[in-house]
Structure 1
């Protein structure tokens, strides 16, 4: 239903979870792994941003089984709490995109979690190290 993943798509999240490594994703970037969901430091974007995704491959929100959705949401919450503790940020925000027009670029459901500080310019920040987060997850 509403799928855009091309045939033979080399899913970067599935590859990462199988132990694969690329210039953008390394196994050490994974900061949380539960039976149904994982979280990794974002390879680009906001300083300290994390991406949370189901361990099973589901393209988007429309395909996501409830159990995996609940597991992702629980992981998003754990990451947001860890961000508050590790970074001392004043708040967090999440984003999730579906389909090309909705901004989806990776064909594996995922949620972006961003730390926020007063006066920050979210889009102007750079990638961050997840070591501080790992202490709280």
Structure 2
């Protein structure tokens, strides 16, 4: 039995929207760094100090959280998470990466579409101690990181297939 849904009635999913061309200050086509048949990756619009250019990887189909994720979509997401982590390491010259995923309000989920965070990590960056200092960044600030990561990944960046 699946847990209850927390997605509000009539929810306008930003991750589904970006695939359909919806643009606002938090969702820009230039944020997209890789697209596969079942998953896509984008530069995150919210960054923690000392860890700019984090990415989000999610299934292309709308699924609220890990509990309802189909195995094929899960495999596609985790395959792309690995590629994005390798790409971040190469593109940014960081010293490591961290990956996390949240489910339900008590698990700190804020967007009702499953997504996995991939963070660039640096010695002494205190990522997990600085949650309150995270900031939303502009599309222009995100674009340079998206370009670096897109080049590193060498994957398609459109939703045409």
TM norm structure 1: 0.95
Q: 1:117 to 1:125 in 2, by over 3 A?
A: farther
Please provide the CA RMSD for this pair: 1.3
Q: Where in structure 2 are the equivalents of 1:1-137 lying within 5 Å?
A: 1-2=2-3, 3-46=5-48, 47-122=52-127, 123=130, 127=137, 128=142, 129-137=145-153
SS at match of 2:33: strand
| Alignment check: 8 A CA contact 2:54 2:119 kept | yes
| Alignment check: 8 A CA contact 2:46 2:134 kept | no
SS at match of 1:24: coil
Q: Could you say which residue in structure 1 is the equivalent of 2:158?
A: none
After TM superposition, give the deviation of residue 125 of structure 1 in Å: 6.7
Residue by residue over 1:42-61, the C-alpha shift from the partner in whole angstroms, topping out at 9 and shown as x without a partner, is: 00123010000000000000
Listed as ranges, the gaps of 5+ residues in structure 1 are none
Listed as ranges, the gaps of 5+ residues in structure 2 are 154-161
After TM superposition, give the deviation of residue 121 of structure 1 in Å: 3.1
TM norm structure 2: 0.81
| Alignment check: 8 A CA contact 2:65 2:103 kept | yes
SS at match of 1:130: helix
Equivalenced residues, count: 137
**Structure 1 stretches of 4+ moved >3 Å:** 123-128
